[in-house]
Amino acid sequence: MGKSSKLSVALVGLILCASLVSCDDGRTGAQDAAKQLASAVAALDVGSVAFDGKDAGAANEQLTEVFKALDPVKPAVESGELTLEKDTATVPLKYSWKIGSGEWTYTTTATLKKSGDQWLAVWNAATLVPGLAEGEVLSTLSQSPARADILGAGDAELVTYRPVVNVGIDKPLLASADPAASATQLAELVGVDPAAYVQQVQAAGPEAFVTAITLREDGRTISDNQIGEIPGARAIGDYLPLAPTRTFARALLGTAAEANAEQIEKSGGALQTGDTTGSGGLQQQYDAQLRGSNGTQVFAEKAGLTAEERQALVNGGRRLLFEAAMKVGTPLRTTLDPNVQQLAEDVLAKVGPASAIVALRPSSGAVLAAASGPGSNGYDTALLGQYAPGSIFKIVDSLAMIRNGMSPDSTVECPATLTVDGRTFKNAEGYPASSLGSVTLRDAFAHSCNTAFINARDAVSQAQLESAATSLGVAVEAPALGASAFLGSVPGDATGTEHAASMIGQGKVLMSPLAAAVMAGSVAKGSPVSPQLVLNPGADESAAAGGAATPSASAPSAAPSGSTAPPAPAAAATPVTAAEASALADMMRAVVTSGHTGFLASVPGAPVAAKTGTAEFGSDNPPKTHAWIVAVHGDLAVAVFVEEGGLGATVSGPLLKEFLTRAG
């Protein structure tokens, strides 16, 4: 046979071998089996894997037991390049675990054997962890860092570890006493539900300490002697991250406590039993930054050890496989002034409905106080409330009118009533007759003439209102704020009665007390204020912080049913100018000197400039109203809000006067 013939035969053989399964050396099947094994181990479920000489169910139980201590963390597992020798294949499995702040990586070797047309995995504990012997499992030892503080202006400690006592029944101390009787006595002493606490004590194990309540050490009225008179009862000292008082900025700051089962499950391994985590407010938003990360050690040890046996083996008998260093959390620095915040809360203490006071520095945007009153029931009305602003929105109207060529001395018409498309608008009750008819824009603003501003609707478009609002820092993003907030919503398109309603801060126009303070502050500054609350947001949290939030279904607001705030622009296209702001400040000062807030003239210090707002809402007759007032006082801008409060001047006005007077 010639060379060409031999070459042809060889080529035919190669072609046939490439197309026939019988010519495959088994590599493809082995690789598929290796990938299946890697995927199953990564899922921590090898129940569907075919093993050589090992029941898949038994293998799965052993795998679960080996990695139980790491639950709920799962590894990423990849199969590497396969080595094939006849009917046996070996393949590296590359593992990667996220443990605390570290990453545990290692490589093991898996063996596969061919049985007929099938590749079977050979079970070996060392396939899971290098050097792991049969009968060994993993265990962990963790150390949690103290939670970092939340700091205020001048690095004042807003939230820090403060002494507390855990009051409860220590069951080993009961001796022959009746657990139910002791639990009932203690519950009545500390003011918790006796029936529920009795049930907790009875359900707990014989060595348990069952906490009834945790009390601040500072100022507690229940003494150790009173507690000690109850058989089995005791108070155990501890420290918890707490604000100065139970109510201090609670809606804004949130709380921190031991993680519950649901929080641990949702954390993806970041939280463990006994860890402290944040709930609500800044504590939850910046939880990772404040919490830091646990220091974790991973050991290999004999299965089935008791706690006592494990403790005895700390210095021997346990092999350290991995260690992630503990990382202490970073304190969260804020602009909140503890004295100003407490003052705001004191002023609101007796207000029944939902309420808020926000105070900020126009010069820097620093938020000094964001207080939500007791009637807010834990909701952050100050930053997240969504309400019709009423006549405080006339600051926006006036800017739009000034941009159309008017000045505070321009003449406007202020009739007693005005009808638009069948809807009659009127001025607030008690409006002075002397300010009806042809009046200056300043006078109409000072006495808050609704009809004068609605009369301007044909000269001021809805788009111009939206533009003027953003020029004053309203309904734009707040990238420097560092906290969840609603910065307002002003529709850019409205006609008829809806546009008329917008001219007096109703319809679909919405603001939060924070947005109202920003608006007033922008007048004082002469340029838009960008509010700032958090000074050092962590990289992972800052992306979700700040900006104008859209209305939330859970928010108790006056937002129209089904409404949704449009996305906020990043910044105003045309910022308010110093000249425009000066004209607005002139009219706000007139509200005090000649309008209906003359009571603010006696506030000591710099002259006060203000604007009141009474926002009607709902279908009642007469309609319910929200009470607003905003003011500037030197380098301080303040918004006061009371939900369903009545008139801004008579309800929110006195609260503002008290706040400004005491603030000094």
Same domain, 154 and 121: no
Same domain, 235 and 269: yes
- Would residue 420 count as lying in a domain? no
Task: Categorize the per-residue pLDDT at 622 as very low, low, confident or very high, splitting at 50, 70 and 90.
Answer: confident
Same domain, 358 and 303: no
Which residue carries 């009219």 as its tokens? 587
Joined tokens for residue 120: 């079977």
Q: Which of 280, 336, 328, 281 is nearest to 151 (CA)?
A: 336
Task: Name every residue whose Cβ is closer than 8 Å to that of residue 266 and which is 6 or more positions away in sequence.
Answer: none
Average pLDDT, stretch 566-577?
74
Specify the pLDDT at position 530.
95
- CATH code for the domain in which residue 125 is found: 3.10.450.100
- Would residue 416 count as lying in a domain? no
* pTM assigned to the model: 0.81
- Would residue 112 count as lying in a domain? yes
Average pLDDT, stretch 74-103?
94
Task: Name every residue whose Cβ is closer than 8 Å to that of residue 372 and which is 6 or more positions away in sequence.
Answer: 251, 252, 348, 354, 355, 356, 379, 380, 381, 382
- Would residue 230 count as lying in a domain? yes
Residues 277-322 pLDDT 10s = 899 999 999 999 999 988 999 999 999 888 777 777 665 578 999 9
Same domain, 587 and 617: yes
565: pLDDT strictly greater than 60: no
Same domain, 200 and 327: yes
546: pLDDT strictly greater than 50: no
Residues 59-70 pLDDT 10s = 999 999 999 999
Same domain, 312 and 347: no
Average pLDDT, stretch 171-188?
96
Task: Categorize the per-residue pLDDT at 559 as very low, low, confident or very high, splitting at 50, 70 and 90.
Answer: very low
User: What amino acid occupies position 305?
Assistant: L
Decide: 626 and 595 in contact? Cβ < 8 Å.
Answer: no
Q: Can you list the pairs that 270-277 forms with residues at least 24 positions away whose Cβ atoms lie under 8 Å?
A: 272/142, 272/144, 274/144, 275/144, 276/144, 276/147, 276/240, 276/241
Least confident range of 44-53, 371-380, 465-474, 622-631: 622-631
Domain boundary among 309, 332, 355: 332
| Core vs surface per residue 313-328: b (16+ CB within 10 A) or e | eeeeebeebbbbebee
Joined tokens for residue 499: 């546009």
Same domain, 191 and 58: no
The number of folded domains in the chain is 3
Task: Categorize the per-residue pLDDT at 551 as very low, low, confident or very high, splitting at 50, 70 and 90.
Answer: very low
- CATH code for the domain in which residue 217 is found: 3.90.1310
Same domain, 323 and 221: yes
- Would residue 178 count as lying in a domain? yes
Q: Which uninterrupted H or E stretch holds 652?
A: none
The residues facing 412 across adjacent strands are 439
Specify the pLDDT at position 571.
66
Same domain, 189 and 230: yes
Q: Which of 243, 245, 246 is nearest to 283 (CA)?
A: 243
Specify the pLDDT at position 649.
78
Task: Categorize the per-residue pLDDT at 650 as very low, low, confident or very high, splitting at 50, 70 and 90.
Answer: confident
- Would residue 64 count as lying in a domain? yes
Specify the pLDDT at position 24.
54
- Would residue 469 count as lying in a domain? no
- The residue range of the domain holding 361 is 338-393+476-536+544-663
- Share the mean pLDDT of the chain: 89
Task: Categorize the per-residue pLDDT at 267 as very low, low, confident or very high, splitting at 50, 70 and 90.
Answer: confident
- CATH code for the domain in which residue 515 is found: 3.40.710.10
Same domain, 303 and 223: yes
- Would residue 443 count as lying in a domain? no
Whether the ω angle into residue 622 lies within 30 degrees of 0, i.e. cis, is yes
Same domain, 589 and 645: yes
193: pLDDT strictly greater than 50: yes
Task: Categorize the per-residue pLDDT at 17 as very low, low, confident or very high, splitting at 50, 70 and 90.
Answer: very low
Same domain, 373 and 232: no
Decide: 450 and 392 in contact? Cβ < 8 Å.
Answer: no
Whether the ω angle into residue 72 lies within 30 degrees of 0, i.e. cis, is yes
3: pLDDT strictly greater than 60: no
Domain boundary among 316, 332, 348: 332
Task: Name every residue whose Cβ is closer than 8 Å to that of residue 281 and which is 6 or more positions away in sequence.
Answer: 250, 251, 252, 253, 254, 255, 380
The residues facing 214 across adjacent strands are 166
Domain boundary among 312, 332, 352: 332
